[in-house]
Amino acid sequence: MASNITTTISQQSSSSSVPLSINAMVGIAILTLAFVLGFPGNLFVVWTVLCRVKKRSVTCLLVLNPSMADAFVLLSGPFFLRYLAGGRGWEFGSAACKLVHYLSSVNMYVSIYLICLMSMDRWLAVSRPFLFHTMRTKRSLLILLLVVWVLALLLSVPMPFYRRLDMRGTFPNNITLSFCVPYHKSKGHRVFQYLFETIMAFLLPFSLINTCNSSTICRLQSAKFQRRAQGSRLILMVICTFAVFWLPYHIVNIIEVVGLLQDSKSAVTVALAARPNVTAFAYFSSAVNPILYVFAGSSHIRQAGFSFMGKLFEATNSENKTTYTFTRSGHINRRCYTPDKHSALNTLLMKLGRLFKSKEKDMSGGVAGKDADELELRTLAIQLN
């Protein structure tokens, strides 16, 4: 039936089309810019990570996944541009209408939960350095990435049920067009969709992100550690960018939910008027990260050329090999090695054995050695903590 509708629309609207509104023009400009900058930019990031980075760090792989998701969702850009600029409604059928919005929802959840992983990664590196190095393996990362993708796919399941094709024939020359529009059986479904999106894709994850970053910053400040790693700055830039582009969308969600619950027609009208533009603005967030990477890696452009982004990501790998430990005086000791849990435990056991054996020796001759062993035990205990 969708194909029949499309055929009829094409025949009837060949001589005339629906005039573009100001909102449509703004949406076209944003979507065009997002596709032109974001799609090749994200493909460049994916190519860099897969072909130019020799040793891929965990941060590097965390950057790869949102770039792949962004590139994939930006493929829907031509569909939306045709929808807005063609003046013939939605011509791609009901399945495509549901699919492109489902993929956009998946991308939203994947992006925010990968940012959560990045924030937790940096928090763990500062607060629990030994545990950080023992848990931070490729296998554990792949498991976490799989969990994020499955969670995003599941959380996006309601989206296709809240989209459908709507036939409208109120245009000049009695043209009947189909539009891909939100659909809710009741006010409760409408409230549920927008409230669920705001809680699960913004409030909860950003609460976790803010907690991790606040704890990390406080710990670094208390340790009087002034140097910021390049990878940490990059992650903070990604977090701030995501918040800037998605905050207006979720504010509109809250306004519409409040308007529905309080039966305020003015609030609902404001939300409906603002929704197309804030949605396009949020869509543009998929194009921004490659631009951030270009600015962050600009110092490597002259030296590395097109491989400058690879140099930027390889720098995060060297940072990940650094262990941060806090001394009692409040300072941080940075040790550029990767500790091994088993070797540390074996060393601890050997020291304990030597300490017990020293009890059998003469007390006068073994005091100095015993004190040295006890000092080493304290050092190992601090490392294991």
Instruction: Inform me whether the pLDDT recorded for 227 exceeds 80.
Output: no
**What is the pLDDT at residue 34?**
93
Please state the domain extents for the chain.
2-323, 340-384
Pairing of the two strands 323-326 and 163-168? unpaired
CA distance 114 to 134: 20
CA distance 300 to 112: 28
Instruction: Inform me whether the pLDDT recorded for 2 exceeds 60.
Output: no
CA distance 346 to 369: 19
CA distance 38 to 40: 6
Closest Cα partner for 283 from 76, 85, 118? 76
CA distance 93 to 75: 17
In this prediction, residue 245 has a pLDDT band, given cuts at 50, 70 and 90, of very high
Stretch among 113-117, 128-132, 237-241, 266-270 having the lowest mean pLDDT: 128-132
Residue entry with tokens 């939203």: 108
CA distance 121 to 114: 10
In this prediction, residue 216 has a pLDDT band, given cuts at 50, 70 and 90, of confident
**What is the pLDDT at residue 100?**
93
In this prediction, residue 270 has a pLDDT band, given cuts at 50, 70 and 90, of very high
Stretch among 115-119, 175-179, 352-356 having the lowest mean pLDDT: 352-356
The better pLDDT of the pair 315, 125 is held by 125
**What is the pLDDT at residue 125?**
79
Residue entry with tokens 């998605």: 246
CA distance 228 to 166: 52
- Mean pLDDT for 82-99 is 88
Contacts of 228 (CB under 8 A, 6+ apart): none
Between the alpha carbon of residue 37 and those of residues 281, 299, 363, the distances in Å are 14, 21, 75
Instruction: Inform me whether the pLDDT recorded for 322 exceeds 80.
Output: no
**What is the pLDDT at residue 217?**
78
Stretch among 4-8, 196-200, 230-234, 317-321 having the lowest mean pLDDT: 4-8
What architecture does CATH give domain 2-323?
Up-down Bundle (1.20)
**What is the pLDDT at residue 335?**
45
Question: Is this model's pTM higher than 0.85 or not?
Answer: no
Instruction: Inform me whether the pLDDT recorded for 190 exceeds 80.
Output: yes
Highest mean predicted confidence (pLDDT) among 65-79, 227-241, 294-308:
65-79
